[in-house]
Amino acid sequence: MQAAQATRRDTVIHVVLGVASGLCMAVAAFLLIAPDVGPPPVFPFQDKVFHAIAFACLTGPAVLVLPRKYLWFWLAHMAALGVGIEIVQSMGDNARSGSVWDFLADVVGIAAALGIGRLIRARIERPIGA
């Protein structure tokens, strides 16, 4: 009975993280591709902070649920997404421009999600009493 409950709990966690990841992807796609209009930044490097947060949110759920053998695929996927967004921004006609600094902020977010996610997984997956 406990194994069935654990499987159900894991399924619910995976579905919730999957939906959260999909919603984050939609919001990030809009924010990173939409025309750059709005109020001026509130603090220095605000755009870079937002890039890091967006890519941490996009990477985090995968770090929490993917088996290690698939994790490097997702990290490479996220880095390619960061490059792709900057290329699209540089080609667009919507007052956006591609930036190596934005990509580096994306990588910082990916690395932060990897580090935090691995710490969380180590804590959750640790055998009881260890």
Can you give 91-104 as a three-state secondary structure string? HCCCCCCCCHHHHH
Give yes or no for residue 43 having a pLDDT over 90: no
Query: What's the pLDDT at 40?
Result: 75
pTM passes above 0.75? yes
Describe the crossing of helices 68-91 and 100-125 by its angle, rounded to 10 degrees. 160
Query: What's the pLDDT at 55?
Result: 94
